[in-house]
Structure 1
Amino acid sequence: MEHPSEAEDAIRRAVLIELNNAPLCLLNTSTGLLCDRAAQLNSFKTSPEYKELLSSITKRSDLQMERIKEVVAMHFCCVLLSHRWEEAEVMLHHIQNKDVCELKGLGGIMKLQSFCKIARDAGYLWAWMDTCCIDKSNNAELGESLQSMFVWYRHSALTIVYLSDVPPSSQPGALASSVWNEWGWTFQEFVALKVVRFYQKDWSLYLNDRSLNHKESQAIMKELEDTAYLLFDIFDVHLPVIYGERKQSALGRLLQNIVSRSGDITSLDWVGQSSEFNSCLPADIISYATPPYSLPSLSEDDIRTAVSSLRNIVPVDSASKLYNMLENMNALLFANCRLRLPCIAFQVTEVKRKRGHTVHSTYGVKADGLRDLLITMDETLIQFLRARPTQQTFFLVRPWDHRLLGLPDFSEQLTFTGEG
């Protein structure tokens, strides 16, 4: 037989572990009262489940830790609300020491009461809503809450998403256009949670889907595929979640982190609207949709000819030094919304010599992505127009890595390279 104090200590440890993954304050859906950690613990100690668990343990010779964890977890199952704030919301000072079920005349009280009723009807004792369950006047509590929300949503038994702008009997697609779907912050909630149900303005289920978990609904999930915070999870990127963050910023931080970690700049290859976060990045993930394109096929003879032509562009030793330098130069740096590349290349579309120069040759150069340039040099360049291109492809390469500027025959900041 176990000593009662040992059993109580084991139960307390299990409770504290459970509470560490839960919000600091919770609404008791049975009493309608807001409860801090002490009140939550006291509620459990006075519950029939606690008394039955304590009694069964003291009658046995082992602590039955799995049984303790199971009972504790069931008691502290918590339902969280994910929603967009509206003009009027119930705040902490509105509900302290009051039964939320009895409150009237407050803006947003119907949303809070409806949420608590759904949680209670589903069999859950605890519920949490960010507007009224965080003491925003306490900077320490506010900071801890913001940093812990992902964990809270991850460990919630159920998350209810309230779509205040989606009317009853809406057709598929209403969720995708809801304001809830336009705010980056809500997606960290969506990624974190394991079980979710979407409710419309009148608190009816979205698309009348009565399944226990809308994350298993293909029709609903189809409307939520392109989300930055979802990609955080996929790419295993651990970045701080910023309250109120816009989707463009969340996507920008994700892409910035991927580029910096991998050195792969293919994420800079996109078509569409540029991001306000950084103009090098797209405003939306759909900008990576690949247009239909097939690479031209080359015969073996064509490949040999192309390779041979490269040997006549620059001396072999200079080309080798350039290759080694490029191979070993610093990786790109992408941080604080700024992109630094070791070098950047622009395809040349026109080279035309200017008259009136004898000692050096001056050329007017056009390149994609640059304004028109004038370049003066000793070498003679092949002239061509966009309408009449050469067989070779030329690039203007701007090296931003200072080590590239000291190479023989490649000392100019703007340098020509050729590609067969």
Structure 2
Amino acid sequence: MRLLHTSEFVLEEFIGSNIPKYAVISHRWGDDEASYRRFEKGLKTIRSSQYQNASSGWDKIIAACRIARSRGLDWLWIDTCCIDKKSSAELSEAINSMFNWYQRAEECYVLLPDVADNTAAFRRAAHAEEGTVTNAAKIGNEMWDPQDFIKSTWFTRAWTLQELLAPNRVLFYTTDFNCLGSKGDLQNLISDATKVPLIFITQNDMIHRASVAERMKWASRRQATREEDLAYSMLGLFGVNMPLLYGEGNKAFLRLQTEIIRTSDDETIFGWSGESHYNTNGLLAPDIAAFSTVSDIRRHYVVPRQHYEVTNKGIRITLPLRQPHLE
């Protein structure tokens, strides 16, 4: 993987066990991000002292380096300049490895694009009904409104789900790069915003114990600029890999389900709901939205489990029947 040095502002590639301790950034892309090619053409020589606010993608990188450096980390990974997206092979490797990269990071810094630390939020809370002032939280001498946090667009994007769940330590920052708190500090607000149960927010080693249908539901209300990314952003959540084929559209989600079936015996993948007469994919869900309305569906543990498989005629599966309780 390619990492950025937080004080020298140079990029260096590391392979295998030689990867040093590093931080990662989770953010929403803007219109002026510093790509790998742009960075290599000369931006790496610019020093942080020349920048005072987050007016561009470069300022975002500089601020992230400052945060990591202040926390004792010399290396940083951010998807803007650390991936050469002109290389299809490198992009494919990065997307298939991204969950692991976030999981192995010392810390993840979430840069929220629409949560500002200013007194206006406190004034709104102070003029609300009595007793609701506690809905305003304090950062130093400034106040922020937790409702602004819950409504942040960061919680609506497909890629940020794995960036929230994979790292062990996640810190959230305002648009002025002031820390709101850690994932543990804000766990209840995060659960409200994502509908992900607390145990999976606070314990990243529990994620893959959630049923396939549960994990699908977490992602079902999220959006991506490209349709294929709705599937590609979930590869790590299900521990699968597959080649990227931009241009395939919704076929990416069908391929994702097939890969999950190849590596898992969790039948909840068939627990989606929707208008079946519009679905030409048999037992496979037509899209991620089909999981948005599933109820509390959990994996039924049976020993020994019956395997199932994808054949040229469809899916061959054997399921246990439960004796109904008759009164």
TM-score, normalising length from structure 1?
0.45
Instruction: Select which of 194, 197, 210 maps to 1:224.
Output: 194
Change in CA separation of 1:271 and 1:36 when aligned onto 2, cut-off 3 Å: same
Q: Which residue of 2 aligns with 1:35?
A: 11
Instruction: Select which of 74, 77, 102 maps to 2:21.
Output: 77
Structure 1: which 5+ runs fail to align? 1-22, 41-68, 291-329, 343-420
Instruction: Select which of 160, 174, 177 maps to 1:203.
Output: 177
Q: Which residue of 1 aligns with 2:166?
A: 192
Superposed CA deviations along residues 188-207 of structure 1, whole A, max 9, x for unmatched, are: 2222211100112222223x
Q: Which residue of 2 aligns with 1:110?
A: 59
Matched, 1:94 2:38: yes
Q: Which residue of 1 aligns with 2:294?
A: 288
Superposed CA deviations along residues 230-254 of structure 1, whole A, max 9, x for unmatched, are: 896234832238989x9xx879946
Q: Which residue of 2 aligns with 1:369?
A: none
SS of 1:174's equivalent in the other structure is: helix
Change in CA separation of 1:271 and 1:173 when aligned onto 2, cut-off 3 Å: farther
SS of 1:36's equivalent in the other structure is: strand
Change in CA separation of 1:262 and 1:140 when aligned onto 2, cut-off 3 Å: closer
Matched, 1:181 2:174: no
Rg (Cα) greater in structure: 1
Matched, 1:127 2:97: no
Shift of 1:107: 3.2
Structure 2: which 5+ runs fail to align? 118-142, 211-236, 297-306, 318-327
| Counterpart residue type for residue 24 of structure 2 | L
Cα distance in 2 between the residues matched to 1:154 and 1:266:
24
Cα distance in 2 between the residues matched to 1:106 and 1:216:
28
Shift of 1:108: 1.8
Shift of 1:27: 2.0
CA contact (8 A) 1:226 1:285 kept: no
| Counterpart residue type for residue 237 of structure 1 | F
Give the share of equivalent positions with the same residue, in percent: 23
CA contact (8 A) 2:261 2:309 kept: no
Change in CA separation of 1:192 and 1:98 when aligned onto 2, cut-off 3 Å: same
Cα distance in 1 between the residues matched to 2:102 and 2:84:
18
TM-score, normalising length from structure 2?
0.56
Change in CA separation of 1:265 and 1:281 when aligned onto 2, cut-off 3 Å: farther
Q: Which residue of 1 aligns with 2:90?
A: 141
Give the number of equivalent residue pairs: 241
Cα distance in 1 between the residues matched to 2:242 and 2:174:
26
| Counterpart residue type for residue 128 of structure 1 | W
Cα distance in 1 between the residues matched to 2:46 and 2:269:
56
SS of 1:159's equivalent in the other structure is: strand
Change in CA separation of 1:242 and 1:129 when aligned onto 2, cut-off 3 Å: farther
SS of 2:172's equivalent in the other structure is: strand
Q: Which residue of 1 aligns with 2:213?
A: none
Matched, 1:233 2:182: no
Shift of 1:126: 1.3
| Counterpart residue type for residue 208 of structure 2 | D
Superposed CA deviations along residues 220-274 of structure 1, whole A, max 9, x for unmatched, are: 4423343999896234832238989x9xx87994698369944746843647999
Which of the pair has the greater relative contact order for Cα pairs under 8 Å at 6+ separation? 2
Change in CA separation of 1:334 and 1:173 when aligned onto 2, cut-off 3 Å: farther
Cα distance in 2 between the residues matched to 1:241 and 1:178:
31
| Counterpart residue type for residue 182 of structure 1 | T
Cα distance in 1 between the residues matched to 2:78 and 2:288:
33
Q: How does 1:323-402 map to 2 (within 5 A)?
A: 333=310
Cα distance in 1 between the residues matched to 2:288 and 2:172:
29
Change in CA separation of 1:138 and 1:89 when aligned onto 2, cut-off 3 Å: same
Cα distance in 2 between the residues matched to 1:232 and 1:255:
20
Shift of 1:281: 6.6
Q: Which residue of 2 aligns with 1:316?
A: none
Matched, 1:167 2:116: yes
CA contact (8 A) 2:100 2:166 kept: yes
Shift of 1:122: 1.5
Shift of 1:113: 1.5
Matched, 1:214 2:214: no
Instruction: Select which of 260, 264, 288 maps to 1:257.
Output: 260
CA contact (8 A) 2:273 2:291 kept: no
Cα distance in 2 between the residues matched to 1:109 and 1:238:
32
Q: Which residue of 1 aligns with 2:271?
A: 268
Shift of 1:117: 1.1
Shift of 1:162: 0.9
Change in CA separation of 1:142 and 1:174 when aligned onto 2, cut-off 3 Å: same
